Amino acid sequence: MSDMMQAGFDYGALPVELAVKSRAAAERIKLRLKRTVEDIIEIGRHVYQKGWVAANDGNISVRLDSERLLCTPTGVSKGMMSPDDLIIVDMKGNKIAGKKQRTSEIMMHLTVYNMRPDIRAVVHAHPRHAIALSFETATFVPGDLEGQLHLKEVPVVAAGPLQVEQIAAGLRNHLVVLLRGHGAYARGQTLWEALHWITALEESAHIAWLRAALPGRE
């Protein structure tokens, strides 16, 4: 077992009495963590294959419990991750397990989690059509019916010293937020739900892009 996985299985979230009295319960917790690691790696591959992250772009995080997050590090391609690349941080952003270095963007994730304790996962990627449209508006309103039904509207935050707080505030009441000229941040009860909203945003943005390109439209 890799150092990361060993650290993950034994990082201290297990109450001592549970570990002692219920080996079966302990094994279930270990299995759940293993699946969460696999989910992050699979989602990283997905956004990379879609072209929504280039080089070492993007980041992914998920709550392990009330005190710890499992997340992607800095300096690693999200399409080529292994379990050893992932790290665990506490709710102040201190790395407590893993070999790689923490990304500075984890502080934005932590701001979201602290603002909305019910949020379990955050995915950040760079969907092209959504980014292109972010230059032209303060709020993206989907024109397609699916986007109107689920996303309703997507706030666009300007880059600057208040962007972390503004992105987190946007995710309080919206499923996904755009940082102008940079990328999208989505939240969910699961990693796959957060990815779902990134996918929905890019689909609506692509439709809006195609619609704007139709002959006769200004």
Q: Which helix (H) or strand (E) holds 162?
A: none
CB 70 within 8 A of CB 62: yes
Tens of pLDDT, residue by residue over 5-16, are: 444 434 344 333
pLDDT score for 34: 87
Looking at residues 105-117, what average pLDDT do you find? 92
Domain residue ranges of the chain, discontinuous segments joined by +: 3-212
Q: How does 142-161 read in b/e, with b if 16+ C-beta sit within 10 Å?
A: bebeebeeebeebbbbeeee
DSSP 84: G
What value does the mean pLDDT take over residues 165-188? 96
Residue 49: per-residue pLDDT: 96
pLDDT of residue 142 exceeding 60, the answer is yes
Rounded distance, CA 130 to CA 122, Å? 17
Q: Which residue type is seen at 134?
A: S
Residue 218 pLDDT grade (very low, low, confident, very high; cuts 50, 70, 90): low
Inform me whether the pLDDT recorded for 181 exceeds 90. yes
Read off the tokens for 103: 């990304």
Which residues 6+ apart lie within 8 Å of 179 measured at CB? Answer: 134, 156, 157, 159, 163, 167, 185
CATH number belonging to the domain at 3-212, selected among 3.20.20.450, 3.40.225.10, 3.40.630.30, 3.30.530.20: 3.40.225.10
User: In the predicted model, what is the mean pLDDT of the chain?
Assistant: 88
Residue 33: what pLDDT?
85
Q: How far apart are CA 53 and CA 57, in angstroms?
A: 5
Q: Which residue has the higher pLDDT, 130 or 28?
A: 130
What residues are paired with 139 via a beta bridge?
155
Please say if the pLDDT value at position 113 is more than 90.
yes
Residues linked to residue 95 through DSSP beta bridges, in sequence order? 89
pLDDT exceeds 50 at position 203: yes
Distance of CA 13 to CAs 7, 61, 185, Å?
11, 17, 27
pLDDT in tens, 23-62: 766 677 777 888 999 999 999 999 999 999 999 999 999 9
68-109 pLDDT tens trace: 999 999 999 999 999 999 999 999 999 998 889 999 989 999
Contacts of 99 by beta carbon, 8 Å cutoff, 6+ apart: 3, 4, 84, 85, 87
CA dist., res. 38 & res. 85, Å (int): 12
Q: What pLDDT, on the 0 to 100 scale, is given for residue 26?
A: 67
pTM to 2 decimal places:
0.87
> Max alpha carbon distance in the chain (Å)?
71
